[in-house]
Structure 1
């Protein structure tokens, strides 16, 4: 849009230059159209007339309508007959009913629809346990999962490849054993927060030979010894779960630290394909493997020793160093990075806790990983590390860096965020919780009042933009010094104008006005689906302008925004209902 000054200059130029009559008419028409657009925008900012809205609710497909109709009448029609006549009969193997001819994908979609709408009853679940079912999740309805249902799953759904029983604490260990033994084709199994124990993990290790992903997090009966049974069958003296790649084993039964470390080391050596092991003792287990001090005592239950397993992986006391194919590492202390890098040189994702020493070599060690693309850094010391310390790491990883998450860093230099983002043009996800440095003048500054003409921030601080960015989250703790606000505002405006693929945007607790930051970027954010401005300074006019953009926005969070009032929120909801928009707005 042209400014009023430029329009006046054009008018002056026309009169002085003696433009032809046809050109004058054309310029006059352009000026009238421009003035009309400007008036329309002004009305929008005042909350009068929205220019348009996020997408209206899409017309559902015929398949979706049919499934919604089935879900709506499931309990009153189909499940009622089954409840009255067959629900307590467990001897039959199959149920011949109205859903047997449904394709596998439709059965799974119907189960998901019933679960998400809280319409899934025991009778409905029985009717949908069909032989062609390939994926089943009882996580949305753990109260329905009893031992009788477990037996039905084994009888009717032997073709399952994915089974999620997370939170189903009523299933006894014996039933979980039957499920592991009766469903040998499983590739993913979720047992989080269940009664899984050593017998269950032994059955999984012996029978589920195709298993690639297993979750036993929160299982209080799983001991370090039980984990060994998962990776090795001491009776048959054969390895277990040879294809396992992902094992989630957080928050298990409390055990001695030495036992937990030895069990984690055993898993790392005994599972040759393991790429992800989420276990608290992994960093210490890697240190143990790196030290080569593996002379543990002879095991009375028939498990191989760590030294024997290490030799099987090609590592000898004086031979080649031991390396593992781990791709993801969690909760690594800064002083352990050298050891972890030596054992896991192919890691692609790592989360690190940094100490108080700015001169430590931890961040330099991270830059040596050749495959690293996803990094999480947190400050565990008593004081925050400066955001500028991350810049050399970002520069060394460059375009390889896909995800960066930062916790507890201090943004002492307002341009350090700009330099950091500019060094990572390939970012797909960025998440930062930053602390602003104290401002001695904050108490004496008058409160900010919205100006009639907000400043236009520079949008060229990131010349190349972040063309691959899909998720951006920034949270600011503490008051931001007035001297920092222009640089931070320009950085955010430049980022948003250069991120056309952005789908999720979270600007949390930003204490300075965001209207002038969002305004130039709105035409570019054509794929934005989720926007959270919780606790940030944004006006109702900016929200109306946001609602006037054409895009797939589905969720807008305005919780605790100081400049958004009840009457504004009611107006937003009224517009959403009137236009039949597929948009959820949160405010409190």
Structure 2
């Protein structure tokens, strides 16, 4: 399945050569003569003629090879640079470098400063004010505060994506400044579509809920707002009980903003263009649906109570295609409870993720997969409880010869599936294993576009599950395979190594039937045949 390593392109070889010689020539000259003279603008070298994308690729190459230094970073801050990510090297980023970015790279449209905590708020303000063309700005885990977000809201008129995750100085007041320019009396960041604001310091839950509601109303194009207070803010707006939410610092009230959104008449429904909703409790789904009817992705926390629930609300979302369901109670909900949802969405459902569910009926997994043939990605962490009608099982003995499982449990197949991940928690009763094995065998044979496959902590042998797909062969597009903590033999791995396909990553971590001698043999074959394959084992 793995392919031979491709011959490096001429572009790659040139960049590698440039990275190899930068330290001994241009970086050394710059360090010796100009490093601390921040008014010095340029040093002529071959990197000056590189296109924007190649400069970014060279920065990445220097970073991965641990050759990126402060001097090399200075040299590559070129005027024609359009995208710059400093997330891989936060230790090299200081206030002087921030000033240098403003001085040299005023054409930047993408800037990621995630984790660069040494940049002071005043320098972050200078960056927001001095880079007017930014469309994407990453400030996660920085010293961003009210002054920084005020500058972003006032100056970054083309900004479409902003990340302030983990910024502990971002308060409710800072969020209001982001959403509204008090001096111009206009919305801040009028083009903002994505705002990631997870893990902020909570200074009064009521203030934060009101601030999030303010953002939802003030930013007309907002489609994604990742914040834990979002469901409560949506509930507040749906109730339209907005008395007491006025602000004394010159910001418009929520009532005024609601009127500006065209819901001036009392009782008129308010709708927002949000496309992605996170951490929605099951009991508020109907409220959230009423305010956000255009949602395409939603993650829901379910309680312990089975039976009729808010899940019935989900098929009513006409654009919904990505669903994540998690069980927050002590007892996991049964996979069978997801079937009406899958059947209601049908081919519209492209992504389904399940956390903490219980596979009490072994046929429920195959029935669920058969109900949504349009799936592109499926991920589930399932517990298979013991069958109360069976007695304690004797220790398992390996079957001889290995069984041949049915591969027709998915009659319509999964023609668009690209990613499949299944984690099984705890032992699997013997009565469940044949059906689960046949389900997995059917999946591997009937998913021709599968690129990523993860079968994690599967306690029963997978050799007979993999065999039908390898015999056809069916896994022609597989690029990543993880069998961590699962039972698979060295023989199946050799079949994988001998088949055709683009496999590049194989994870055999903590597989009980793979030993050191097997791993060494795999690596020797990869080296001898010059295969482009990374194998992990421990």
Task: Report the TM-score range of the alignment, normalised by the length of the smaller protein.
Answer: over 0.9
With over 3 angstroms needed to count, the CA separation of the structure-2 counterparts of 1:442 and 1:556, relative to structure 1, is: farther
Give, in whole Å, the separation in 2 of the partners of 1:412 and 1:143: 50
Q: Which residue is equivalent to 2:192?
A: 244
Q: Which residue is equivalent to 2:62?
A: 114
Give, in whole Å, the separation in 1 of the partners of 2:11 and 2:391: 59
Q: Which residue is equivalent to 1:338?
A: 286
Q: Which residue is equivalent to 1:408?
A: 356
Q: Which residue is equivalent to 2:519?
A: 569
Deviations 1:135-165 (CA, angstroms, capped at 9, x unpaired) = 0000000001100000110010011000000
SS at match of 1:496: helix
Q: CA deviation at 1:102?
A: 1.3
Q: Which residue is equivalent to 1:529?
A: 479
Q: Which residue is equivalent to 2:495?
A: 545
Give, in whole Å, the separation in 1 of the partners of 2:72 and 2:245: 54
Q: Which of 57, 62, 65 matches 2:13?
A: 65
Q: CA deviation at 1:418?
A: 0.5
Q: Which of 290, 296, 300 matches 1:352?
A: 300
Q: Which residue is equivalent to 1:482?
A: 430
Give, in whole Å, the separation in 1 of the partners of 2:186 and 2:153: 10
Q: Which residue is equivalent to 2:396?
A: 447
SS at match of 2:316: coil
User: 1:140-151 residue pairs with structure 2 within 5 A?
Assistant: 140-151=88-99
Q: Which of 455, 458, 465 matches 1:507?
A: 455
1:403–1:430 Cα contact (<8 Å) kept? yes
Q: Which residue is equivalent to 1:554?
A: 504
The alignment's TM-score, normalised by the length of structure 2, stands at 0.98
SS at match of 1:409: strand
1:439–1:480 Cα contact (<8 Å) kept? no
Q: Which residue is equivalent to 1:198?
A: 146
User: 1:374-389 residue pairs with structure 2 within 5 A?
Assistant: 374-389=322-337
Give, in whole Å, the separation in 2 of the partners of 1:256 and 1:572: 57
Q: CA deviation at 1:233?
A: 1.3
1:292–1:317 Cα contact (<8 Å) kept? no
Give, in whole Å, the separation in 2 of the partners of 1:485 and 1:456: 13
Give, in whole Å, the separation in 2 of the partners of 1:139 and 1:477: 35
1:237–1:302 Cα contact (<8 Å) kept? no
Q: Which residue is equivalent to 1:270?
A: 218
Give, in whole Å, the separation in 1 of the partners of 2:490 and 2:54: 43
Give, in whole Å, the separation in 2 of the partners of 1:57 and 1:78: 32
Give, in whole Å, the separation in 2 of the partners of 1:297 and 1:266: 9
1:235–1:302 Cα contact (<8 Å) kept? no
Give, in whole Å, the separation in 1 of the partners of 2:437 and 2:7: 39
User: 1:413-432 residue pairs with structure 2 within 5 A?
Assistant: 413-432=361-380
**In the alignment, does 2:26 pair up with 1:78?**
yes
Q: Which residue is equivalent to 1:50?
A: none
Give, in whole Å, the separation in 2 of the partners of 1:367 and 1:54: 41
Deviates more, 1:520-529 or 1:422-431: 520-529
Q: Which of 105, 111, 115 matches 1:157?
A: 105
Q: Which of 424, 445, 450 matches 1:497?
A: 445
Q: Which residue is equivalent to 1:224?
A: 172
Consecutive unaligned residues of structure 2, counting only runs of 5 or more, are none
Q: Which of 447, 452, 456 matches 2:404?
A: 456
Q: Which residue is equivalent to 1:208?
A: 156
Give, in whole Å, the separation in 1 of the partners of 2:359 and 2:47: 59
SS at match of 1:63: helix
Aligned length: 535
Q: CA deviation at 1:439?
A: 4.2
Q: CA deviation at 1:519?
A: 1.1
2:246–2:254 Cα contact (<8 Å) kept? no
Q: CA deviation at 1:319?
A: 4.5
Pairwise CA RMSD of aligned residues?
A: 1.2
1:296–1:306 Cα contact (<8 Å) kept? no
The alignment's TM-score, normalised by the length of structure 1, stands at 0.89
Give, in whole Å, the separation in 1 of the partners of 2:397 and 2:211: 58
Give, in whole Å, the separation in 2 of the partners of 1:74 and 1:508: 44
Give, in whole Å, the separation in 2 of the partners of 1:502 and 1:298: 53
Consecutive unaligned residues of structure 1, counting only runs of 5 or more, are 1-52
Q: Which residue is equivalent to 1:362?
A: 310
1:245–1:274 Cα contact (<8 Å) kept? yes
Deviations 1:352-396 (CA, angstroms, capped at 9, x unpaired) = 000111124211011211110000001111211110000010001
SS at match of 1:458: coil
Q: CA deviation at 1:317?
A: 5.1
Give, in whole Å, the separation in 1 of the partners of 2:42 and 2:23: 20
SS at match of 1:353: strand
Give, in whole Å, the separation in 2 of the partners of 1:143 and 1:330: 32
Q: CA deviation at 1:582?
A: 1.3
Deviates more, 1:499-508 or 1:288-297: 288-297
Q: Which residue is equivalent to 2:468?
A: 520
SS at match of 1:321: coil
Give, in whole Å, the separation in 2 of the partners of 1:191 and 1:312: 30
2:42–2:75 Cα contact (<8 Å) kept? no
